[in-house]
A and B are shown apart, each in its own frame.
Chain A
Amino acid sequence: MDPRINVINKRLAGVKKIIAVSGGKGGIGKSTFSAVLALTLSKAGYKVGLMDLDFWGPSGHVLLGAQGISPVEDKGIVPPQINGVKFMSIIYYTEDKTLALRRAGFDQAAIELLAVTQWGALDYLIMDMPPGVGDVTLDVIRFMEKVKFCIITTHSKVVMETVKKTLNILKQLKIPIFGVVQNMKEKNLSVEMQIKRLHVPFWGKIDFDAELEGAIGDPKKLLETKFSKNVNKLIHKDSRNHI
């Protein structure tokens, strides 16, 4: 028997909402959204954790500019804070070197971190997922009772096609969907109606932000971006249960 599986929900017992940020395709802003959402929530006064579960391409530390910090040991592992966000990542243990992991190793490492990380009391725990939903993450996610998926999309037909498949998989597996976010919105191209037709909650839109790149690595600058202002609207929507 693997004892670690039985302790995961206890580790997450103090967390009110767990949002796994995923999406049909790579490079559509999952990590950026996760990091900015965590920072913006924290600024709004919520207790927030961010877990980078993309062991193949961790980027949370790059976005947050996390350097020279590491967790402390106290009946497990207590993640360090960046701008009020408790941040957990595999990079504390890989020294930021490449980790050649197969699927089985991925699951093992994720279970290990989930079993030993002491989050304490949180309003939100944001989990940045690796690209793709079907194969990898579901085996880890099934150990977490409270988790809900936030799916990032863009207006691109290619992305939407995969997102629809992802949403169907989640529905079939009866995994709750927190909401869909349209990222990198340009002009008036909206996918809101398409998503609603699938009977899936639409959380909101984030505009393409040409100034974003210059803010990466600096939490204070990230909080001043248009991206963060868009995220703030999403947070208000959630706090009023309007998704």
Chain B
Amino acid sequence: MHEWALAEAVVLTAEKVAKEQGLGAIQGITIKLGQLQQIEKNILKFAIREIIQHQRSLFKKAKIRFQNEKAVFKCRNCGRKWNFANAGKLNFKESEAIHFVPEVAHVFMSCPQCKSPDFEIIKGRGIWVDSIVGEKEGPDGSENKCH
């Protein structure tokens, strides 16, 4: 369960934002998951829930939402754009390696047009915290959204 390490990163990020913005309670965490890394949403969600159990007051009302982001690649050599679906077949070991370090895609994938490994991962690489929403501490209890 290497997702656990990333779940911890998400929780620390939420805590950091809460501290910086003076949020007394976090209401929502929106996480963007890039297609390339193939993170198991349910494992990640489970791990986040386990970790925030120890921080009841801050996360009691927290809803965890996910957005999937399709991976898009662009060749630096010929300019061709392509997506994961037409990226060619990866075997189990290769997709597992990309799951741990998405950049090793440059070893196992290449431009469908010119075969160059020098491409850009434009979108959908891995994990990203899209927003943390919470209530400000203090009397007004206003909502605060942070990207």
Contacts and interface: CB of A to CB of B under 8 A. Distances in A.
B8 A112 contact: no
B104 A3 contact: no
Interface in A10-49: 10-11
B101 A109 contact: yes
Contacts of B117: 100
B90 interface: no
A99 B9 contact: no
A94 B101 CA distance: 9
A231 B93 CA distance: 38
Nearest to B126: A112
Given A75-B1, A99-B103, A101-B106, A6 B118 contact: no
Given A3-B129, A93-B97, A108-B125, A116 B103 contact: no
A109 B104 CA distance: 8
B10 interface: yes
Nearest to B98: A93
B9 A4 contact: yes
A187 interface: no
B84 interface: no
A174 interface: no
Interface in B64-86: 76
Contacts of B46: none
A186 interface: no
Contacts of A112: 100-103, 126
A74 B4 CA distance: 8
A231 B107 CA distance: 36
A85 interface: no
B4 A115 contact: no
Given A73-B1, A90-B101, A7 B129 contact: no
A230 interface: no
Nearest to A11: B5
B6 interface: yes
Given A93-B104, A94-B107, A108-B103, A1 B13 contact: yes
B4 A100 contact: no
B61 interface: no
A3 to B, nearest CB: 4
B25 interface: no
A101 to B, nearest CB: 6
B6 A100 contact: no
Interface in A107-163: 108-109, 112-113, 115-116, 118
Given A93-B97, A100-B118, A105-B106, 18 more contacts: A1-B17, A1-B129, A4-B6, A5-B9, A6-B13, A75-B1, A75-B8, A77-B2, A90-B104, A95-B93, A97-B107, A99-B104, A100-B107, A101-B103, A101-B106, A108-B102, A109-B104, A116-B5
Interface of A: 1-7, 10-11, 55, 73-77, 90, 92-95, 97-102, 105-106, 108-109, 112-113, 115-116, 118
17 contacts: A1-B147, A2-B128, A3-B12, A6-B13, A10-B12, A75-B1, A75-B8, A76-B5, A90-B101, A92-B97, A93-B98, A93-B100, A99-B106, A100-B106, A108-B103, A112-B126, A115-B9
Closest 3 CB pairs of A and B: A76-B5, A7-B9, A3-B9
Interface of B: 1-2, 4-6, 8-10, 12-13, 16-17, 76, 93, 97-98, 100-104, 106-107, 117-118, 121, 125-129, 132, 147
